[in-house]
Amino acid sequence: MTTTHPGSTPQAERDPARAGRAKWRGVGVAVCAALLALTLVGHERLPDLPGRLSSLAETLLPWTALAVPVLAALALLRRSRVAMAALILPVVAWAVVFGGTLTDKSSPGGDLTVVSHNVNQDNPDPQGTARSLLAAGADIVALQELSPDTAPAYELALAASYPHHFYQGTVGLWSTRPLRDARAVPIMPWTRAMRATADTPEGPLAVYVVHLPSVRVGATGFTSGTRDEAAAHMADVIRAERAPRALVMGDFNGSTDDRGLRPLTGGLVSAQSSSGDGFGFTWPARFPTVRIDQILLGGASATASWTLPATPSDHLPVAARIALTPDPAAPVVPKDGRGAG
């Protein structure tokens, strides 16, 4: 004989509802995991979201790994096996997209060592910064965010080691190799880019130094429009380059994954991506979260890429060892905007 208390629901009636709820428990977490995986492997196909938020998402793409433990905690709270199983998708996707980035891809050899650094126009110690850069023993040094007050200090500090140099506006180039045809490149109303030909035993090398406009994250989204326009102008200049090899260094204010920079980065090879060890984050210097300082190559290859110790700047310096001898795998300087990324 079965008895029930007034107002209670028989167990047989409660079980179907509970089973139905359990079936759908954690489905939202599983859907989020699947969407995260799709975003990782297919971010280039994402639509252009308002406020250029797609560019921002691509800039922060490596940090999507932090979403996995959050989703795992939610899955545990929901006690959902489906959600826990779905977490395999973003883990595998992240490993596919970024797993190779974490390996050391450097190799022996190289003809030149190059360094690029946004020195910060408010740098309180230009001489100390120059001494830090000299310790790298580079053949070519590119500086960005020079100011009328600091540029002479860098010129004086680097003169003994780099007899060939050119600077204009906020960018400059110092070299142990002879420079010719040095000139500003008009990508903005004021000078934030330059080009010179470095004469090397392996032949001429077109060297570009560029500082693309800053970006901000605000109420209107990712304010990268001016930067993207300047990058497109720079890409046009490089597509018209006649030299067989090109080296493009500077502060891009964006990662090489950022769609807004693809007209420029899409036809060149990142030294960090091809020969670095890890992500090589450069900004902010105290806790680097994104690599916005780039060394890109066309018609040449990198054998190593790394970051240098911090200076008083808010950026870390970047360095690479470059091979200028013919390499069948190295893309030529792009003429049509296509090439290796």
What is the pLDDT, as a whole number, of residue 341?
A: 38
**What local confidence, expressed as pLDDT, does residue 12 receive?**
45
What is the model's pLDDT at position 78? 86
Q: Which of 130-144, 223-237, 268-282, 319-333 has the lowest mean pLDDT?
A: 319-333
Res. 22: pLDDT tops 60: no
| Beta strands across the sheet bearing 164-168 | 164-168, 171-175, 140-144, 112-118, 318-323, 301-307
pLDDT at 14 over 70: no
At 54-102, the pLDDT tens digits run 999 999 999 999 999 999 999 999 889 999 999 999 999 999 999 999 9
What is the CA angle 56-232-199, rounded to 5?
Answer: 115
Tell me what pLDDT residue 46 has: 85
- Give me the residue label for tokens 């420029």: 264
Are the C-beta atoms of residues 184 and 198 closer than 8 Å to each other? no
Average pLDDT along the chain: 91
C-alpha to C-alpha distance for 101 and 109, rounded to whole angstroms: 21
DSSP characters over 274-306? HH-BS----BSTTS--B--EEEEEESSEEEEEE
pLDDT tens, position by position, 237-263: 999 999 999 999 999 999 999 999 999
pTM of the full structure: 0.88
Task: Give the pLDDT score at 337.
Answer: 44
Do 173 and 162 contact (CB within 8 A), yes or no? no
Q: Residue range 20-38: average pLDDT?
A: 82
User: In angstroms, rounded to a whole number, what is the distance separating the alpha carbons of residues 97 and 58?
Assistant: 12
For 106-159, the pLDDT digits (tens) are 999 999 999 999 999 999 999 999 999 999 999 999 999 999 999 999 999 999
Rounded distance between C-alpha atoms, residue 299 and residue 151, angstroms? 31
User: Can you give the pLDDT at residue 338?
Assistant: 43
Query: What integer is the mean pLDDT of 148-174?
Result: 96
Tell me which residue has tokens 């693809």: 262
What distance in Å separates the CA atoms of residue 206 and residue 192, rounded to the nearest whole number? 17
